[in-house]
């Protein structure tokens, strides 16, 4: 029998804090915009999202609703799942979510449920936005958690991607 014990190699699961450079909101939005462009590549509405934990990127996703045929596969919910997996907890109290488009009611609900600390979004969504446009689920004192919001970051770039996508389909 082999006495090799490769399982002894120490990886510290107690400290899931990601390493890597800290990025600011603007740079994170750049990554989210690149994710959004990827979504358009497979016929999905171009929306991208990035999760930051203490300023470091821990997850980066885009809308996959058409790709998966899944109504819940919005960029924000996918990035919340990845962030939770990366940190080993559903409670994302130290996480900032950066997304190109104002979250819909489903995703705003997800941000609240995950106890996300802060939301940064690009373009407002007057037709479905639930973080200030139609509703503000992130700042409703009746709910058990509020998410800090910064709106409008690089909104023109996010809007342009959406306009190109919908324009190209007509």
| Minimum CB distance to Zn ion smaller for 31 or for 128 | 128
Region of 27-35, 36-44, 86-94, 100-108 interacting with Zn ion (CB under 5 A): 100-108
d(CA 7, CA 22): 32
Helix (H, G, I), strand (E, B) or coil at 135: coil
Instruction: Indicate if 66 belongs to the active site.
Output: no
d(CA 99, CA 39): 13
DSSP 41-80: HTTS---EEEEEETTEEEEEEE--HHHHT-TT--HHHHHH
| Minimum CB distance to Zn ion smaller for 57 or for 130 | 130
Residue number with the shortest CB distance to Zn ion? 107
Q: How far is the CB of 119 from Zn ion (least distance, A)?
A: 12
Residues 101 and 122 sit within 8 Å (Cβ to Cβ): yes
Q: Terminus-to-terminus CA distance in the chain, angstroms?
A: 67
- 62 counts as binding Zn ion under rule CB under 5 A: no
Region of 18-26, 96-104, 119-127, 132-140 interacting with Zn ion (CB under 5 A): 96-104
- 107 counts as binding Zn ion under rule CB under 5 A: yes
In 3D, which of 30, 64, 60, 26 has the Cα closest to residue 44? 64
Residues 32 and 74 sit within 8 Å (Cβ to Cβ): no
Which of 11, 22, 35, 76 is catalytic? The answer is 76
Region of 29-37, 70-78, 85-93, 138-146 interacting with Zn ion (CB under 5 A): 70-78
Distances (CA, A) of 1 to 4, 8, 154: 9, 17, 61
Binder of Zn ion out of 53, 61, 65, 74 (CB under 5 A): 74
Q: How far is the CB of 48 from Zn ion (least distance, A)?
A: 12
| Minimum CB distance to Zn ion smaller for 62 or for 74 | 74
Residues that bind Zn ion (CB under 5 A): 74, 104, 106-107
**Which residues are catalytic, by number?**
76
């Amino acid at each position: 029998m082999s006495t090799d014990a490769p399982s002894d190699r120490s990886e510290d699961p107690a400290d899931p804090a990601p390493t890597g450079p800290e990025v600011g909101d603007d740079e994170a939005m750049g990554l989210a915009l690149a994710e959004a462009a990827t979504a358009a590549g497979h016929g999905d509405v171009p929306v991208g999202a990035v999760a930051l934990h203490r300023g470091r990127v821990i997850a980066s996703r885009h809308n996959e609703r058409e790709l998966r045929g899944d109504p819940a596969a919005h960029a924000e919910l996918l990035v919340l799942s990845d962030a939770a997996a990366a940190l080993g907890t559903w409670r994302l109290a130290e996480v900032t979510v950066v997304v190109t488009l104002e979250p819909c009611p489903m995703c705003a609900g997800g941000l609240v449920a995950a106890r996300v600390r802060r939301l940064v979004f690009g373009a407002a969504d007057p037709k479905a936005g639930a973080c200030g446009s139609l509703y503000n689920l992130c700042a409703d004192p009746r709910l058990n958690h509020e998410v800090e919001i910064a709106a409008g970051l690089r909104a023109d770039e996010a809007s342009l991607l959406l306009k190109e996508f919908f324009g190209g389909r007509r």
